[in-house]
């Protein structure tokens, strides 16, 4: 080592290495060896160093391994201990589980033994009860069978006796028929012999005439009665029948009717197919003959002919044609009621075989002559009764017409008309001169009227000078002989002349004339002729449902109906109901009765011959008419026939205990009417009457005044808005004045000094009258909005779950029961030709009036709302599960209303009904349906002709969309017409959708009440144009009840979805829509799309 590292030797070696390599000397070889040796020594030293370092590392690693071993041994010991403890715990748990299992088995065995023992006991008890009930039922059945057997034995004996009698009578009848047949044959032979003898004479007399085939005249041969064995074929051959024809002008064009006639002919006279087809060449005419010439080569049987004939001549809208014929078929002028009724019934049965007899009778009366309908309506139930009574009425009318043709002559002819011939009017007897004319057309009446006229205001009437009145009346009691009677009457004689008629001028719409003021008439009466001149719709004439009116001659007459009309007398133009009578019952155009006098406050001064109206200073003169005294002039003392009626009506009084619709009813009348209509037994109905009668203030006929709250009008400007009054006609101005006077007297309005002014408008009502309204549009435009919410109608209706009895309450002019704030009254001012006035109560038409009224009702009812009653503005419904509870609930609600100072409109209230109309829906214990009275407008809605009418129809139908499955999909063709830029074209798809919607809404389904105690089921579906869903509930075994339908159209983007996406969208949309029903309970979703299941 030392040698290797010696520097001297190393330097020498280095020098030697520097010598040229060409000198192969031993020193160089030794140097090379030394060098190699030194290199390996260096390497060895490095290896030794590494070995030493690795040794140190190995020693350190050994120490670490030793430490790890000790650590692992400790952990292993700890793990062994833990494992042993766990094994002990597992063993303990297994032992506990075995013990628990044993205990459970023992308990189950004990429970099973108890249940088995109990079931055995119940089975024994049940079997015993069933055995007892079966034995009792057997005894009852045996007793009933024995009783029925005894009764049947008695009936059988009675029937046997009657059958024996009938058999004897039949034998006698058969013998009589045989004798009659023999006699008929004998007579027929004699007549044929006489005919042959006559033909022989004619042949010998007309020798030069060309020979004609001999045709014997068709003598009517009676058809023998049908025997039990069938028809007498030998005698039936004597009946001459002809095959029905088709295509002639006098033939019915109905192909179905023609085939029915052919079948009837073939039933009596059977023919082969070849004979039948050969006959058609002679019985078909016109177009039918042309068709048969081509079709006969392809038709070989009678059945095939019927099929092809209907294909050629039966229109596609055959049912619609029949319906049109039913609607347009009217009784002709000279057509007997028997012919019309039977032919109309046959036509109705061809149109709709399911029509009932009563429905056909109503349709016949709708299309028959008016003079017959007015007498038959309400008196007949079957067509046979209608024909029998109608035929008798026709005979009576013919007798009257033939016996008394009326010819009225005036003694003083006028320039325009000197005579009037009325031949088609029924008989009217003039009580002035006994002539056959109306008292209004009597010459005495006409002549005396020349001296009477209106004298002006605040003037006394003057008596006209005396003079003679010539009365010339022509009558013909017998129909052939006329008699003329002349009567001379001195007006100044108090013994002969007594004032009889108080006449006033009046106008009704476009008709103007005169009316008789009759203080003995309870109702205002209108002649049917005047009613026809008004050209009012027939629907305005409502049926008269009360009793008949008593005439002055002691007879009774039922009005044709009643209607509400405006009667203008001078400056008074009230709207009131009147009874419409036939001309034969009412001798005058109009009779103003006590109801008119009471309604208008008309005051009569008979002494001064004047009349005034309450609250008005003007005084008017009567056009007083005088005539003979009443006694002996009511009817002809010697009528031409004992059955002729005395039809002059001098006054009308109600029959005992009757109150026609034309009379103003009292609150007690409405209470009695409500009690009569309730669904309660008699004892409970009496309890309801006592309950209502105890609330006298609440049942007042006048609007109340509440102090619960007042109405404020907050405007965003303090600058008053003033408008000019709208121009109105003279008639409407009179209506405004009259209504204004009534509101001033009632304290509804008061004179105003406000800077605000809104104009008045008169809005037409359905009954022909007008509603007083104020145009507050400009005031509403500057009024701040009251955000108080109105209830959701659907939520209100769905709150009626589990109720059986309902009552609805309606307030009397509800808005007028709310007082206006003193600072806001000036803003309600309205301007008329009579001045400026303002409301003291909340008027109709204000922007925030609904919110104020809803706030009032919810504050008044308080905690009762949602528990026993619901309220939407002035419509209140009280609902209860039982009758006794309903009385308590009803009393609680009435107490609240009366305590608030409100009053009810008893005319519109309904009490204790199991089915009731509320907010346009019919509510029952079973569910909710659309109100037929509301959907009737949809059923009669005409086909839309433009976009506006489409929008109107969809808005009307959309109100009941929840009752129509898939409403949006059904209405899609109609909805498409509203899209922007699309041209209006009513296609067949639109018509089909239109008819489908009308069909759904004409007979809508009943939707059940949602009950949270039952599970919900949601059915969803999607189409190319819309989504649909049905919400139902399972309320019993295999029973589902529909709660609601829903649908909507897809927008443009959604229509590009795939089928799966649309079906999924339908599910999501339905769940979001009905989230308030479904949360937080479990429910079922049903879809027909397999990918979503």
What tens digit of pLDDT does each residue of 631-640 get?
A: 333 333 333 3
pLDDT of 454 higher than 60: no
Contact between 341 and 387 (Cβ < 8 Å): yes
Same-domain check for residues 732 and 818: yes
Domain assignment present for residue 459? The answer is no
Residue 840: asked if its preceding bond is cis (omega within 30°), the reply is no
Q: Where do runs of H (alpha helix) occur along 747-842?
A: 777-781, 793-798
**What gap in Å lies between CA 877 and CA 909, rounded to an integer?**
10
Beta strands in 528-673 (DSSP E): 549-550, 556-557, 561-566, 575-581, 590-592, 602-605, 610-613, 619-621, 623-627
Q: What is the mean predicted confidence (pLDDT) over 6-32? A: 58
Helices (H), ranges, 514-562 = 528-533
CATH number for the domain that contains residue 996: 3.10.20.370
Q: Is residue 534 part of a domain?
A: yes
Which helix (DSSP H) or strand (DSSP E) does residue 251 occupy?
none
User: What is the model's pLDDT at position 148?
Assistant: 75
187 located within any domain: no
Which one, of 816, 849, 846, 916, lies nearest residue 876 by Cα?
Answer: 916
- State whether 916 and 1016 are in the same domain: no
The dihedral built from the CA positions of residue 710, 711, 714 and 718, taken in this order, carries a sign that is: negative
Tell me the mean pLDDT in the region 333-357: 86
Same domain? For 752 and 784 the reply is yes
pLDDT band at 204 (very low <50, low <70, confident <90, very high): very low
Instruction: Put the strands of the sheet holding 619-621 in their side by side order.
Output: 602-605, 610-613, 619-621
Kind of pairing between the strands at 1083-1087 and 1016-1022: parallel
Give me the chain's average pLDDT, please.
75
Decide: helix, strand or coil at residue 124.
helix
Percent of the chain with pLDDT over 70: 76
pLDDT value, residue 191: 65
**Is pLDDT above 80 for 374?**
no
Split at pLDDT 50, 70, 90, the class of 843 is very high
Is the Cβ–Cβ distance between 469 and 489 less than 8 Å?
yes
User: Pick from 1002, 964, 1069: which is nearest to 974 by CA?
Assistant: 964
pLDDT of residue 759: 94
> 428 with 323, same domain?
no
Q: Which of 107, 109, 88 is closest to 99 using CA atoms? A: 107
Pick the closest to residue 847 from 716, 755, 753, 723 (CA basis). Answer: 716
In a shared domain, residues 833 and 949: no
Please name the residue ranges forming H helices in 616-681.
Answer: 667-677
Residues 6+ apart with CB under 8 A from 667: 699, 700, 701, 906
Q: What is the DSSP letter of 328?
A: H
Provide the CA 190 distance to its chain's centre, in angstroms: 69
- On whether both 486 and 604 belong to a single domain, the answer is no
Which of 387, 402, 417 lies at the terminal end of a domain, its last residue?
Answer: 402
State pLDDT tens for residues 719-775: 899 999 998 888 888 889 989 998 898 889 999 999 999 999 988 876 667 788 999
The domain of 788 spans 671-925
Q: Are the C-beta atoms of 921 and 930 separated by less than 8 Å?
A: yes
Q: What is the C-alpha to C-alpha distance for residues 220 and 234, in angstroms, rounded to an integer?
A: 15
Q: Are residues 697 and 808 in the same domain?
A: yes
Instruction: Answer for the pair 740, 832: CB distance below 8 angstroms, yes or no.
Output: yes
861-889: average pLDDT: 89
Please count the structural domains in the chain.
Answer: 6
The reply to whether 256 and 344 lie within a common domain is yes
Residue 484 has pLDDT above 70, yes or no: no
Mean pLDDT of 441-451: 46
Number of other residues whose CB lies within 10 A of the CB of residue 937: 10
Structure letter (DSSP) for residue 1092: G
Task: Find, among 580, 579, 576, the residue nearest to 599 by Cα.
Answer: 576
Separation of alpha carbons 253 and 242, rounded Å: 18
Model confidence at 552, in pLDDT bands (50, 70, 90)?
low
The 10 Å Cβ neighbour count of residue 105 is: 10
| Together in a domain, 484 and 434 | yes
Domain identity same for 538 and 585: yes
Which residues, in sequence order, are CB contacts of 971 under 8 Å at separation 6+? 954, 957, 993, 997
* Nearest in space to 878 (alpha carbons), one of 863, 888, 889: 889
Other CB atoms within a 10 A radius of the CB of residue 633 amount to 20
pLDDT reported for residue 944: 85
Exposed/middle/buried for 1001, CB within 10 Å: 0-12, 13-18, 19+? buried
Task: Give the CATH number, domain containing residue 869.
Answer: 3.10.10.10
Residues 577 and 698 both lie in one domain: no
Q: Phi-psi bin for 169: left (phi > 0), alpha (psi -120 to 50), beta?
A: alpha
**Last residue of one domain, picked from the residues 380, 402, 424:** 402
Q: Residue 460's pLDDT is what? A: 39
Q: Give yes or no for residue 258 having a pLDDT over 60.
A: yes
DSSP for residue 912: E
Residue 843 is given by DSSP the state P
**What is the CA angle 996-1001-1006, rounded to 5?**
125
**846 — pLDDT class (breaks 50, 70, 90):** very high
- Indicate if 561 and 687 belong to the same structural domain: no
Residues 6+ apart with CB under 8 A from 156: none
For the four alpha carbons of 734, 738, 744 and 748, in that order, the dihedral sign comes to: negative
């Amino acid at each position: 080592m030392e040698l290797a590292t010696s520097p001297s030797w190393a330097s020498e070696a280095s020098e030697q290495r520097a010598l040229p390599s060409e000198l192969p000397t031993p020193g160089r070889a030794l140097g090379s060896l030394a060098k190699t040796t030194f290199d390996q020594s260096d390497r060895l030293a490095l290896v030794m160093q590494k070995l030493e370092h690795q040794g140190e590392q190995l020693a350190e690693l050994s120490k670490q391994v030793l430490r790890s071993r000790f650590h692992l041994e400790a952990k292993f010991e700890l793990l062994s201990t833990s494992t042993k403890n766990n094994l002990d715990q597992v063993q303990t748990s297994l032992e506990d589980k075995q013990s628990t299992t044993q205990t459970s088995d023992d308990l189950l065995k004990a429970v099973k033994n108890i249940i088995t023992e109990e079931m055995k006991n119940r089975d024994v008890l049940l079997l015993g009860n069933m055995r007892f009930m079966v034995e009792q039922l057997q005894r009852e059945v045996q007793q009933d069978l024995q009783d029925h057997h005894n009764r049947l034995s008695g009936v059988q004996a009675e029937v046997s006796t009657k059958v024996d009698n009938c058999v004897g009578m039949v034998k006698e009848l058969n013998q009589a028929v045989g004798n009659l047949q023999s006699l008929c044959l004998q007579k027929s032979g004699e007549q044929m012999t006489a005919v042959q003898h006559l033909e022989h004479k004619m042949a010998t007399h007309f020798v030069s005439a060309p020979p004609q085939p001999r045709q014997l005249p068709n003598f009517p041969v009676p058809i023998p009665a049908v025997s039990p064995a069938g028809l007498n074929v030998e005698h039936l051959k004597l009946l001459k029948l002809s095959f029905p024809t088709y295509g002639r002008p006098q033939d019915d064009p109905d192909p179905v009717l023609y085939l029915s006639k052919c079948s009837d002919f073939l039933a009596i006279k059977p023919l082969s197919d070849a004979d039948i087809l050969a006959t058609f060449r002679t019985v078909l005419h016109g177009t039918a003959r042309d068709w048969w010439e081509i079709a006969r080569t392809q038709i070989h049987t009678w059945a095939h002919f019927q099929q092809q004939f209907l294909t050629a001549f039966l229109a596609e809208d055959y049912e619609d044609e029949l319906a049109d014929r039913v609607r347009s078929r009217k009784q002709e002028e000279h057509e007997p009621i028997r012919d019309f009724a039977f032919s109309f019934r046959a036509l109705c049965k061809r149109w709709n075989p399911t029509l009932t007899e009563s429905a056909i009778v109503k349709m016949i009366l709708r299309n028959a002559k008016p003079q017959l309908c007015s007498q038959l309506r309400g008196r007949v139930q079957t067509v046979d009764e209608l024909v029998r009574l109608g035929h008798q009425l026709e005979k009576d009318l013919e007798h009257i017409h033939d016996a008394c043709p009326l010819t009225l002559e005036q003694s003083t002819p006028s320039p325009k008309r000197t005579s009037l011939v009325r031949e088609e009017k029924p008989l009217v007897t003039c009580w002035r001169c006994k002539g056959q004319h109306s008292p209004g057309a009597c010459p005495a009446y006409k002549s005396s009227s020349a001296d009477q006229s209106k004298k002006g205001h605040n003037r006394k009437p003057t008596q006209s000078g005396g003079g003679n009145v010539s009365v010339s009346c022509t009558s013909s009691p017998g129909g052939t002989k006329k008699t003329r009677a002349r009567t001379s009457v001195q007006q100044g004689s108090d013994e002969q002349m007594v004032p009889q008629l108080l006449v006033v001028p009046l106008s009704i719409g476009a008709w103007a004339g005169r009316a008789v003021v009759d203080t003995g008439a309870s109702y205002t009466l209108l002649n049917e002729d005047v009613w026809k001149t008004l050209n009012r719709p027939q629907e305005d004439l409502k049926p008269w449902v009360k009793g008949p009116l008593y005439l002055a001659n002691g007879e009774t007459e039922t009005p044709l109906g009643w209607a509400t009309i405006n009667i203008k007398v001078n400056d008074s133009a009230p709207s009131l109901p009147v009874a419409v009578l036939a001309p034969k019952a009412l001798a005058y155009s109009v009779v103003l009765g006590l109801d008119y006098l009471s309604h208008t406050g008309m005051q009569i001064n008979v002494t001064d011959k004047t009349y005034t109206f309450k609250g008005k200073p003007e005084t008017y003169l009567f056009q007083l008419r005088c005539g003979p005294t009443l006694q002996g002039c009511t009817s002809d003392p010697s009528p031409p026939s004992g059955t002729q009626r005395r039809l002059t009506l001098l006054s009308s009084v109600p029959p005992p205990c009757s109150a026609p619709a034309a009379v103003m009813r009292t609150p007690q009348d409405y209470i009695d009417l409500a009690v009569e209509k309730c669904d309660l037994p008699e004892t409970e109905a009496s309890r309801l009457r006592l309950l209502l009668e105890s609330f006298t203030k609440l049942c007042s006929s006048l609007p109340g005044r509440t102090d619960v709250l007042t109405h404020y009008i907050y405007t965003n400007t303090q600058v008053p808005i003033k408008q000019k009054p709208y121009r109105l006609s003279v008639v409407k101005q009179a209506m405004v004045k009259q209504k204004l006077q009534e509101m001033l007297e009632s304290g509804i309005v008061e004179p105003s000094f406000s800077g605000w002014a809104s104009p008045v408008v008169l809005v037409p009502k359905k009954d022909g009258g007008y509603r007083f309204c104020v145009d507050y549009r400009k005031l509403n435009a500057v009024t701040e909005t009251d955000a108080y919410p109105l209830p959701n109608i659907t939520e209100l209706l769905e709150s009626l779950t589990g109720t059986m009895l309902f009552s609805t309450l309606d307030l009397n002019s509800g808005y007028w029961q709310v007082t206006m704030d003193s600072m806001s009254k000036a803003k309600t001012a309205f301007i008329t030709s009579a001045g400026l006035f303002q409301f003291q109560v909340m008027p109709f038409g204000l922007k925030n009036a609904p919110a104020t009224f809803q706030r009032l009702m919810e504050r008044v009812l308080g905690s009762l709302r949602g528990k026993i009653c619901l309220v939407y503005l002035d419509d209140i419904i009280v609902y209860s599960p039982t009758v006794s509870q309903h009385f308590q609930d009803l009393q609680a609600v009435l107490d609240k209303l009366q305590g608030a100072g409100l009053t009810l409109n008893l005319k519109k209230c309904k009490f204790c009904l199991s089915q009731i109309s509320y907010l346009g829906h019919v509510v029952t214990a079973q569910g909710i349906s659309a109100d037929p009275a509301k959907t009737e407008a949809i059923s009669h809605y005409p086909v839309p002709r433009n976009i506006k009418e489409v929008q109107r129809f969809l808005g009307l139908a959309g109100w009941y969309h929840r009752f129509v499955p898939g409403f949006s999909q059904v209405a899609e063709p109609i909805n498409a017409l509203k899209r922007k830029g699309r041209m209006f074209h009513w296609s067949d798809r639109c018509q089909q959708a239109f008819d489908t919607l009308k069909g759904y809404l004409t007979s809508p389904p009943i939707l059940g009440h949602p009950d949270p105690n039952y599970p919900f089921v949601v059915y969803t579906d999607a189409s190319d144009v819309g989504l649909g869903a049905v919400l139902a509930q399972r309320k019993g075994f295999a029973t589902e009840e529909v709660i609601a339908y829903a649908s909507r159209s897809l927008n443009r983007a959604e229509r590009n979805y795939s089928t799966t996406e649309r079906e999924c969208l339908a599910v999501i949309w339905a769940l979001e829509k009905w989230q308030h029903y479904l949360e937080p309970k479990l429910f079922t979703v049903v879809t027909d799309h397999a990918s979503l299941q």
